Amino acid sequence: MVCGVEFIVIRHLPTIGNGKRQYIGWTDEPIVPTALEPYDTECTEVYGSDLLRTRQTAALLFPNATYQSDPRFRECNFGEFEGKTYTQLERYSHYRSWVEDPTALAPSGGESLRQVEARVVEAFQHLPPGARLVTHGGPIRLLLERFAPEPRDFWSWEVPHGVVYRFHWKTEGQWKEGQRCTSLSVERLTENGNSSGK
């Protein structure tokens, strides 16, 4: 009998920059100190980006797991917009152009969403079946846009910090072929998950 395959994908807990609604992409900020119960003490291996905020979140949620880092799971590199807020940038035409088409356009020194999607999806499809993944808001939105059962665009997804997405495929073959998952469920780990920032 062919079994299904499920992936658990979690957005990291918030940082100070997230709270200020800054673009925090490759900036290596720590999470805001928080008391959070472990999510799974039986898990022995968890995957995620190589940035501190995902490592720290994984250590809290999966305290007995070995962390396997992969820079392909990083948030978008926001280049010249890194560390800034919408209010600081909204007057600039190059920023407005990027906001209107972030899929094709990249900030100076940064990445377009198309570039981010290519690396994130490649890394995701090389995970072992059943993997637990801790990553960032942008990569999770891209995975949802690509694999959720019902097609929705990137910005229509709310992805608060500390939220768990369970992607389930009926067969491993469907996942390997890049098909949309057959079911998706969402679980919030914190009472006031923060969906601002990256």
pLDDT tens digits for 73-98? 999 999 999 999 999 999 999 999 99
Coarse DSSP helix, strand, coil percentages of the chain, rounded to the nearest 5 percent: 30, 20, 50
62 domain residue, yes or no: yes
59: containing domain = 5-77+112-188
Averaged pLDDT for residues 21-47: 95
**Pairwise CA distance, residues 187 & 165, whole Å:** 7
Query: Do 28 and 69 form a contact (C-beta atoms < 8 A)?
Result: no
Residue written as token pair 């035409």: 93
Averaged pLDDT for residues 173-181: 91
pLDDT for res 192: 44
107 domain residue, yes or no: no
3 CB-near residues (< 8 Å, 6+ apart):
171, 172
pLDDT tens digits for 96-141? 999 999 999 999 999 999 999 999 999 999 999 999 999 999 999 9
38 domain residue, yes or no: yes
pLDDT for res 191: 54
Residue written as token pair 């608060």: 160
Query: Do 42 and 29 form a contact (C-beta atoms < 8 A)?
Result: no
164 domain residue, yes or no: yes
86 domain residue, yes or no: no
Tell me the backbone φ, ψ of residue 52, rounded to 5 degrees.
Answer: -60, -40
**Pairwise CA distance, residues 112 & 36, whole Å:** 34
Residue 3 — very low, low, confident or very high, per pLDDT cuts 50/70/90? confident
- List, edge to edge, every strand of the sheet that includes 45-48: 66-69, 45-48, 132-135, 5-11, 163-169, 183-188
Q: Output the domain CATH number for residue 24.
A: 3.40.50.1240
Q: How many domains does the chain have?
A: 1
Q: CB burial class (10 A; 0-12, 13-18, 19+) of residue 17?
A: buried
pTM of the shown model: 0.91
**Pairwise CA distance, residues 13 & 157, whole Å:** 17
96 domain residue, yes or no: no
**Pairwise CA distance, residues 120 & 115, whole Å:** 9
26 domain residue, yes or no: yes
**Pairwise CA distance, residues 164 & 20, whole Å:** 23
195 domain residue, yes or no: no
pLDDT for res 176: 85
Query: Do 186 and 163 form a contact (C-beta atoms < 8 A)?
Result: yes
